[in-house]
Homo-oligomer: A and B are copies of this chain.
Amino acid sequence: MSTREMNILDKHTAIYTDYYQLTMAQGYYLSGRAETASCFDYFFRENPFNGGYTLFAGLSDVLELIKGYRFDEEEIEFLREQGFREEFLDFLRDFRFRGTIYSVLEGEVVFPLEPLIRVEGTIIEAQVIETLLLNLINFESLIATKASRIRMAAGARRVVDFGLRRAQGLGGIHASKAAIIGGVDATSNVYTAFRNALDVSGTQAHSWIQSFGDELTAFRKFAEIYPDRCILLVDTYNTLKSGVPNAITVAKELERAGHRLIAIRLDSGDLAYLSKHARAMLDAAGLSYVKIVVSNQLDEYVIRSLLVEQEAPIDVFGVGTRLITGQATAALDGVYKLSMCDGTPRLKFSENYTKLTLPGVKNMFRYTNGEGVFYADAVALVDEPTPDFIIHPFFPEQKSSLKHCTPEPLFHKVMENGEIMVSQTTREAAAYARERLSTLAPEHKRFEYPHIYKVGITQALMNLRTSLVEEFQRKLFL
């Protein structure tokens, strides 16, 4: 079963953008700069969730949308109504993205300040894709990262995404996919499972139980129809007095018919208390194979508390709102900044030194130490040899030698002349994320005050930035 191509924007990809992208594009066009060469970088400045790393995701969706980027007549008419000029509208009619994109792979472990995507093309084509690129990379990376934290807390136990009903509208489509990249096992979201060839999962709602009036009949009917994949929701009336005893009755009936109840599900109340008592009741009935699924406002902290502090006998976690929205962090604040224009490196100046951008066309390398653990990342200018030391991007006195480490280039050419060169399925990205996370030291993965991973720049890049900063300062103080 392969991934299905679905045009998720009803073909209106080109207008999934901020208005100013189009006014600027017209500005470039009318000022005769339509063909000016440019380079933009995507990067973010802070890991979400006060964490020590971010999982990069969203690339395959972005590439698919960029590949299909075009304006149809209805959209051009809409832009005409907004006052765009005819000569520019003619230009848009044939417009395609024909640039080249380098990127880290989907599922890569990444860190603040690193240029993760490098877009090379005319200034118009590189500019107009900004909004859709930021929208999807920011969001999918946020959710993949959240999912990886939930996965860590749950250990080897099964985790299922139940979030669609509380997702931020259609954001659920990409969130369910990003959750799988981050390590969640399956999703209740049928649309995303269909689109991305993922495993679906689900149990039953309280309404099923209520509709039968009595719980035992409701359980029996469900077991009759799904004898080999029956999970019973036991908290509609009273978990320990009614739900679990009725589930045990039905489990025994299933046994006599040669089947096995898969699990019971707890969706309210104190999950530690209820799971312990339910486990004891199931075990006493000889049903130690029946698993316990829990759901209700779970996240990595609640799961850790249930498993580590409470030693709750839980087998499966159904996670909803806080996974699918990334609560408590609503957004990854990634940005897209011009680094080269017309052959010249460009800098976004700032009086706040930590907000200076890294100028010029750049490459990214990762260094693994003798123990096979990620040690540091280096950002270099594109024509430099692989560096053997890096400099802290804001404290130039702080240098790190990379001599004992093995470098690996992080950028792949994922699009050339508008054609997709590298594509990963969701499962491939998930496998890559698992592998890369396993090579990241635990101190970068802990939830509280994680150790900061080393990201440095080369001497040549530092020199370039310093010379551009000095140039601006001279101008400002003249």
List A residues at the B interface (Cβ < 8 Å).
1, 4, 6-10, 12, 15-24, 26-28, 30-31, 33, 36, 38, 40, 74-75, 78, 81-82, 123, 127, 130-131, 134-136, 138-140, 162, 164-175, 188-191, 193-195, 200-208, 210-211, 213, 221-222, 224-226, 236-238, 241-242, 268-269, 321-322, 325-328, 330-331, 333, 337-338, 341-342, 344, 346-352, 355, 472, 475-476
Contact = CB atoms under 8 A, between A and B. Distances in A.
A18 B348 contact: no
Contact of A326 (B17, B24, B130, B330): B330
Contacts of A38: 211
A238 B338 contact: no
19 contacts: A1-B81, A4-B74, A16-B173, A18-B190, A23-B226, A24-B205, A75-B194, A127-B207, A134-B166, A139-B168, A166-B333, A168-B168, A168-B326, A206-B348, A207-B338, A237-B476, A238-B349, A242-B475, A321-B333
Contacts of A475: 237, 242
Contacts of A9: 8, 170, 191
Given A20-B202, A78-B194, 11 more contacts: A8-B170, A20-B188, A20-B205, A140-B169, A169-B173, A170-B173, A171-B172, A236-B348, A237-B475, A238-B476, A325-B330
A245 to B, nearest CB: 11
A237 to B, nearest CB: 5
A162 B333 contact: no
Contact of A211 (B82, B131, B338): B338
A226 B27 contact: yes
A314 to B, nearest CB: 19
A17 B189 CA distance: 6
A18 B171 contact: no
Contacts of A15: 190-191, 194
B23 A204 contact: yes
Given A136-B169, A210-B348, A6 B10 contact: yes
A169 B170 contact: yes
A135 B348 contact: no
Contacts of A162: 18
Contacts of A322: 330
Given A10-B6, A40-B207, A167-B171, A268 B346 contact: no
B210 A341 contact: yes
B194 A12 contact: yes
A164 B17 contact: yes
Nearest to A8: B10
Contacts of A194: 12, 15, 75, 78
Given A27-B208, A27-B222, A18 B167 contact: no
A174 B166 contact: no
A201 B136 contact: no
Contacts of A211: 28, 33, 36, 38, 123, 338, 341-342, 346
Interface centre among A213, A221, A241, A331 (most CB of B within 10 A): A331
A24 B211 CA distance: 11
A332 to B, nearest CB: 8
Contacts of A226: 23, 27
A18 B206 contact: no
B206 A19 contact: no
Nearest to A320: B331
A342 B333 CA distance: 51
A326 to B, nearest CB: 7
A127 B202 CA distance: 15
Given A23-B226, A173-B169, A17 B206 contact: no
Given A131-B165, A348-B210, A351-B269, A241 B139 contact: no
Interface centre among A135, A172, A326 (most CB of B within 10 A): A135
Contacts of A327: 330-331
A337 B31 contact: no
Nearest to A297: B333
A338 to B, nearest CB: 4
